[in-house]
Structures are given as structure tokens and as C-alpha cells.
Amino acid sequence: MSAAPLLRQVFGFDGFRPGQEEIVTAVAEGQNVLAIMPTGGGKSLCYQLPALMRDGLTVVISPLIALMRDQVRALTEAGVAAAALTSGNTEDENAEVWRALSARELRLLYMAPERLASGATIPMLRRAGVQAIAVDEAHCVSQWGHDFRPDYLRVGELRAALGVPLAAFTATADAETRDEIVARLFGGDQPRVFLRGFDRPNIHLAFQPKDGPRAQILNFAQARRGQSGIVYCGTRAKTETLAGALNDSGLPSVAYHGGMEAEARRAVETRFQREDGLIVTATVAFGMGIDKPDIRWVAHADLPKSIEAYYQEIGRGGRDGAPAETLTLYGSDDVRLRRGQIDEGLAPPERKSADHARLNALLGLAEAATCRRVALLGYFGETAAPCGNCDICDNPPETFDGTEAAQKVLSAVLRTGQSYGAGHIIDVLTGNSTDRIRQRGHDQLPTFGVGRDIPKGQWQAIIRQMLGRDLLRPDPERHGGLAITAAAHAVLRGEERVTLRRDLISKARPAVVVRTQVDEEDAPLLSALKAKRRALAEAARVPAYVIFPDRTLIE
Ligand code: ADP
Ligand code: MG
Ligand code: ZN
């Protein structure tokens, strides 16, 4: 059957979304395809529809049970013979799937990649007459990506064993991930690549530095009372406290994180799907499986870990195409936390520096002086005009020529041998003669004290903006010491000007961070630490944080 009538009869859609038709055609023709489409772009249809256009069975590899269940339910309701083999199945359900497979009754079989680890699976699929393979969330095969699933590596084996065409789908577009997907899934055959535009013009983009973060989130949610929204939090504990605070102010909210029982998580997913105006405060565990078209807002109580994660998370809003609002909060504590997570992680050095660069890209976006959408799309290799739908376009911030300040920072970094963190560089600039400064003889440098006219907190804000513009990078080989980038040379030579945001600099305050070796489960110690944090925050009149060995953060 051809595409258009199936689209209407089975899926109930009037037409294709941008990009879908070309992909459906290529997949139905049996070409190997890698399709990159934004979240909410309608990737599922691009393998479901071709599966019905050809005879026989299509196997769909998908990472999440909830996602598979939803799709199988929707397909079954539409009269399509579809089933899933997951670890959540009962014996009876499994027996029925195996029966339907050997009777060649199924058109779509969803499967978690872990299933491929069993030696029985591939021969079983071969007997079932598989015609094609579809791989959803294909970035899970990438060790560079944020959702790596080792069992995705077996998909290449499956393809080789069955000798059928493969179509892979993802919303993650950066070039490294794309290359890795091609290498690992297509075994050297170059697939046809479809790269659909990344812009989600209906999503309003906004960032704010943390300044009473709880009140910032409450106000944002308050102004959107009655609308469904998600608040992403950096820690499990915060999802709970924030849900409590929202409920206290009369906004129905429920927490969601990976530490909850599967049952409880599913209950939240179902409630969110059905109920209007519910807020879910969640860790990143909430998302990939959520198919709710009318999420009207997404807030980040803490900075996401990379620009890709940010894009995917805000992309859960406004899938129906109607306006959706976002607000992302960030503070220097977030930057420290994320840097620490990267540096202390087990990844190889080249991966760590890529992760720092991705975080820098997000910081650059957070502190952008011009249209955020231009910056965001620019990261994904697209050019755009100023959008008129971000906080910067709404309200352009005051900027100033920060070239001279940036040159001072760069020269202090160079003269101290590119081995020190921001704190030490600021001590040099402000002429703060600490023991370490004197021991290293840094009080003898010509740059010592050249930045006395600017307070410490403002230098921090300047350095943060420079990191965001990729003029400086923390060098993981030197314990995160700052190093200058190629782009910085043009600034040092005076060939490039540096435009900085004044608003971010005049408000800048330092934060206090306490690192500890206690276990988060240790309640008495925990409350002692929280009291200590409060005392510090009050004494210094700045935000303070406690970082645990597993790198969770308590505010
Ligand atoms: P993705 O996997 O790319 O994030 P989905 O496949 O989950 O996106 O689709 C997102 C939403 O768009 C779903 O609610 C889906 O039903 C809807 N959708 C997909 N294709 C179309 C279409 N051609 N017309 C209308 N709605 C569509
Ligand atoms: Mg999807
Ligand atoms: Zn804009």
C-alpha cells in the first residue's frame, strides 16, 4: 500500500511533517538511512509507515520499555499487528510473541537492545523473516553521547547476520556522534543521511543567572498556572523539595527520578500524560519516553550538562507546534559541578575535553549577548536570523567592549604558564598577594594587580563569559588549569573585539563550595552540613553548596 492512504487510515494524520516524506520513501525503498530530526519531529512515523508499506516484519530497536509499550498500544489500537519483547513482559506475553513470530503474523516487533545478548534471538529473528531493522534513539550507540547503551553495539551484528536494510533515527546531530553511528551501525556502508532542520521556532528560549533560584522557579510556574510543565533538577533531592514547594504554593506537582520504583515512575508518567496542568519536577531520567504533545513549559532549576542535553530537554515542550516557554537557570556552582563531573569521570582525556567543549557551548548560550536561537542553531551547523522569540531578542541586554579586560585575563593566563584555575588568575589580576602567589613569584609579574579596578566577583563573571565564548578552556591534563584557545590569539593581537554583557557582570557574586567525603545517606551528618552551608551563605552573603563524593549537590 502506498504512503498517503496509510498515513490517514492508520495514523490519522492529514499530511507529513517537514522532512518525513523523503525519509519514508527512502526507508520504504530499502535504502540504508540515517535520519536526524529534532525531538518531536515525528521520527516514529518514519519507520512505522514504511513497515506497513512493505511485506513481512520490521524489527525496531528501542531503548525504553515505556516508549515501546506506548507505541505498541497505539499501533494495536490502529489495527496494526505489533508487539514488544521486553524484560517487563510476563511469560505468557513472551510465549504469545514467539507464537506470532513463527506464524509470521507480526508487522512490527519492538525490542530492547539487551535482547540481542541472548544467543537465541538472532536465529529466531532469521526464521521470522525480518525484512528491515529500525533503530530508534540511535545516539545510544555513541560513547560520545549522553545516553550510551553498550548493547546498542550489538545492532551492527544483527544487521550483518540478517543482511537487511537498516534505518537509524536520532535527534542528536553533532558531527562526531553522527560519524560514530555510521561506523557502528552500518559496518562501513555509507547510509543516506537526512538532516532535518533543528529549529523549533515555537519554543521561547530564556536563561537567567541564579538569584534566589527557588523563587525564580516558583514565579515562572506561578505565571503558567494550569499548564503542564517540567522542571529539570540537578539532583534527586531537589526534585522532592521543589515539588513540595510548588505544591505548597498551590501548584499540583510530583517528583520523578531514577531512584524511584519502576511502578511509581510509571504512575507519574501516566498521570502527567492524562492530567492537565500537572508539573513534574524531575531529573534527566524523565524524558525520552514522554510523548505528551502539549507540554507548555520546561524549566531548568540547574544547568544541563551539555548543549545537546539542553536542546533535547527543552524540545519536550510544544511538540504540538503551539507556543511553549522555557527558562534555564545557571550559576557558577553549576559550572563547577559539571566541570567536576567531567574531570572526575572515567572517560578518556579526549572525551573529557569534548565534554568540556559541549559544556562551554551551553555556557556561551547562557551568557549570549545576541539572539540565543542563532547561537543554538549555529552550534548544530545551521545559520539563522535573529528569531524574535528569545529573551535576548525580546530585551537586548546592555553590552560593553570587554576586549581590554579579556586581554588582561589572557595575558595573566599565559604568564602563569596556563596551569592555574580562575581563582589564582583573579588573585594575579587583583593583586591579591596570597602565599601561593608569593611562592610562585607571581607578585613579580607585570600583570600583577593590573585589574585592581574590577572586583573579584566581576572578574569571575568576565572569565565565565570568556569560557562561554571559547577564548579560555580548562585543561584537564593540568587539573582544570585554564589554557587559551586558538580563537584567543586574535583577541590578544587586537584583531577581534570581545563584547560582554554588562548585566551579568554588575550582578555577579561568588559562591562558596564545600567538598565533603560523607555519604548522602548519613542523615545527622547531612543536617550538620546543611546547617554549615546556611551559616556560610549567611556569613558571606553568597550562595553556598555542599558537594558529595558522588558529586550530587545540595543547595
Ligand atoms: P520524535 O520521535 O521525533 O521525537 P514522535 O515520533 O514521538 O517524535 O512524534 C511526535 C508527535 O508528533 C507525536 O505525538 C506524533 O503523533 C506526532 N506526529 C508525527 N507525525 C505527524 C504528522 N505527520 N502529522 C501530525 N502529527 C504527527
Ligand atoms: Mg522518538
Ligand atoms: Zn532570538
3-class SS letters over 404-416: HHHHHHHHHHHHC
Contact between 36 and 193 (Cβ < 8 Å): yes
CA of residue 56 to ligand 2 center, whole Å: 23
392-399 LR contacts (CB < 8 Å, sep 24+): 392/368, 396/370, 397/369, 397/501, 397/502, 397/503, 397/504, 398/501, 398/502, 398/503, 399/369, 399/499, 399/500, 399/501, 399/502
Reported as a pLDDT band with limits 50, 70 and 90, residue 278 is very high
Q: Classify residue 284 by its DSSP letter.
A: T
Nearest residue to 250 (alpha-carbon basis) of 214, 231, 222: 222
CA of residue 326 to ligand 3 center, whole Å: 13
Nearest residue to 312 (alpha-carbon basis) of 37, 19, 30: 37
Going by alpha carbons, the residue nearest to atom 9 of ligand 1 is 42
Nearest residue to 112 (alpha-carbon basis) of 170, 77, 164, 152: 152
Any ligand 1 atom below 6 A from CB of 260: no
- Give the mean pLDDT of 25-51: 92
Reported ipTM: 0.97
End-to-end CA distance of the chain: 58
- Residues facing 299 on adjacent strands: 231, 327
CA of residue 322 to ligand 3 center, whole Å: 17
Nearest ligand for residue 205 CA: 3
Any ligand 1 atom below 6 A from CB of 45: yes
**Rounded distance, CA 426 to CA 471, Å?**
16
**Rounded distance, CA 134 to CA 64, Å?**
14
Q: At what angle do helices 349-366 and 372-379 cross, to 10 degrees?
A: 160
* Residue 33, pLDDT above cutoff 60: yes
* Residue 346, pLDDT above cutoff 90: no
Between the alpha carbon of residue 260 and those of residues 458, 509, 526, 553, the distances in Å are 41, 36, 21, 19
Taking only the tens place, the pLDDT of each residue in 469-480 is 778 877 756 666
Range ranked top by mean pLDDT from 167-181, 214-228, 469-483: 214-228
Reported as a pLDDT band with limits 50, 70 and 90, residue 537 is low
- Give the mean pLDDT of 317-334: 92
Secondary structure in 3-state letters for 458-483: HHHHHHHHHHHCCCEEEEHHHCCEEE
357-361, 379-383, 417-421: the lowest-pLDDT one: 379-383
